[in-house]
A and B are shown apart, each in its own frame.
Chain A
């Protein structure tokens, strides 16, 4: 994995709140045994009619909206722990998801797949939605190094939180398993004194 640099992109706004992972990728698509290809079924039931033709009203079917950033309503990614939701978003081409609130497991899953969840204030989120109205060329820039998201150009900006360890992982492109494997000795030492080793 290469490191995560500053992203400046148009975005796709989906105002709905409480978008759960069953909407992001319905359970019937979880039967794959690899991580690839989930993007084509992202938001499947909102995006396609029963016969597989695109539903005209859904934003991903409207070519004027595109970009590497998804902006969604509060409490994004609630529900099932399926990491397939993060895979589907990343596979579709999103690299950043902006919302005023993320469900915990989704946030962890996203970070593990180099998809950056950016949590902004409700106010900031509403401003993005408002300014996007009628302006599908509006740009957002997300700078992980300085932890700043900005409405371009020269618009309002806000800083966002990210755990220092995760930030380093994203910036340098290494993952949790590399780190945990480096802890093997500590883990084995821990096991020797750990109670449940007896059971």
Chain B
């Protein structure tokens, strides 16, 4: 029978299946971090049971770590407590931790792929919704809650009903200056933040094939923002080239055998999806959000929708509410709007290619004096690479700070917050009310748009600077 890529991976991980009940799904890799794991470890302790497979569990500290002076003790007491709890829990239960000060530390969804821990065909979970990022390698990867973290720690399995499948095909070529971030913001703006709920998405088509691994990760990363359980892309030569030589990836003959298997990981030609969507890459412009959910996005040169364009009363109310929060006018343009902050970072856009794009654009320029520009690399390795390539100097000359790695202003759990009422163009994935700090106002966009905005001081189309 013809099967989808998703079917192949899911089905090969089912330990037990019961009528009307969820599957017992085996998990190959489990990432944990300081925020969603402490209660899970307490649960194990209460039951008096160990971590079942420590070798398949990888920990790092990312969500609330400071992005300056990481060599010093964390000054914020609650953050310090959580990071210390992670250190103690990992030591007590024998889990490998890439904590602060370790050369592999970084945002959990950045380090998995760059260390070769994330490999095609695997099932991967983490107590963080952007676990979907790992789907770029042809994995079934999804975010879980803390009770589920405890389940996986205890049994390396999780109870899940198999979701429905959806394929989103994007054909054609993205224009110069249009990135994979724009592509995914465009799709979410078309199908809304609940358009993918209940589905596991496979992205396909020539526009996807042409993307680098890092650009693919940006796409899969934001699958959750359309409500999907996860997103995935079938592995190909681009994937294998990326994995080759990475620290924990198979090497030598093992690698050859692995590639032979990975090549079987694709959707069969006549496999049927529960839902299919098609988009044309040529329709996509640089995108930016104006509202308080990631589905409220428009092409950068377009105007915010007007209230009477809204299809229903509830949509009208939602638009009104978010524009009030953002202090923006329906029907107005965003181009030219002054901003206060620019944040380049998060598991969506903090990899070396993102930093290279930003550096190339800002090289020889200076940021506008009223803008604070923060560049937070996804990992120690990304940071080291940026330094090796001299990107840190280019950024510094342009007035951008290159910080230490972490989630930072993506969710404002550490000191990196956007103050109330201030505007921030952010390369992260969520523009919810208060996401970047209480009262913060977020415009989601690509690293190029963020960089151009920092230089000019107002929302700008990067294509005019390239």
Chain A residues within 8 Å of B258, by CB: 199
Contact mask A59-93 → B, CB, 8 Å, 1/0?
00000000000000111001111111010000000
Separation of A155 and B22 alpha carbons in the complex (Å): 34
The distance from the CB of A41 to the nearest CB of chain B, in whole angstroms, is: 12
Residue of A nearest to B149 (CB): A83
Contact status A20-B293, CB under 8 Å: yes
Contact B21 A163 (CB under 8 A): yes
A177 touches B151 (CB 8 A): yes
Asked if A177 contacts B154 (CB within 8 A), the reply is yes
Q: Mark A161-199, 1 if CB is under 8 A from B, else 0.
A: 001111000000001110111011011001100111011
CB contact under 8 A between A104 and B314, given known A22-B434, A26-B438: no
Q: Is the CB of A73 within 8 A of B21?
A: no
- Chain A's closest residue to B19 (CB) is A164
Which residue of chain B is the closest to A198 with respect to CB atoms? B254
Residue-wise, chain B 405-445 has the 8 Å CB interface mask toward A (1 for contact) of: 00000011100000000000000001011110010000000
- The distance from the CB of A55 to the nearest CB of chain B, in whole angstroms, is 13
Q: Does B138 contact A (CB under 8 A)?
A: no
- Residues of B near A165 (CB, < 8 A) are 18, 20-22, 159
- Known interface pairs A27-B412, A81-B36, A104-B198. Does A45 touch B438 (Cβ–Cβ under 8 Å)? yes
Interface size class of A (residues with CB under 8 A): 35 or more
Tell me how many residue pairs across A and B have CB atoms closer than 8 Å. Answer: 186
Contacts of A176 in B (CB 8 A): 147-148, 151, 159
Check: B81 CB closer than 8 A to any chain A CB: yes
Q: Any chain A CB within 8 A of the CB of B202?
A: no
Contact of A194 among B24, B26, B81, B314 (CB under 8 A): B26
Say whether, besides A33-B38, A101-B194, A186 and B15 are in contact (CB < 8 Å).
yes
Return B191 CB to nearest CB of chain A, in Å: 13
For the complex, what is the distance from the CA of A73 to the CA of B143, rounded to whole Å?
24
Chain B interface residues toward A at CB < 8 A: 12-13, 15-16, 18, 20-22, 24, 26, 28, 35-36, 38-39, 42-43, 47, 49, 63-64, 78-79, 81-82, 85, 119, 121-122, 127-129, 143-148, 150-151, 154-159, 161, 163, 193-194, 197-198, 227, 229, 250, 254, 258, 261, 293, 314, 318, 321, 411-413, 430, 432-435, 438
List 4 additional A-B contacts (Cβ < 8 Å) besides A180-B157, A196-B122. Answer: A16-B321, A81-B144, A187-B15, A199-B250
16 contacts between A and B (CB under 8 A): A17-B318, A20-B430, A22-B435, A27-B435, A30-B36, A31-B413, A33-B82, A33-B85, A74-B314, A75-B194, A81-B36, A81-B129, A83-B145, A109-B147, A183-B16, A183-B24
10 pairs of A and B residues whose beta carbons are closest in the complex: A165-B21, A83-B145, A31-B78, A112-B147, A33-B38, A109-B145, A81-B129, A81-B143, A164-B20, A83-B146
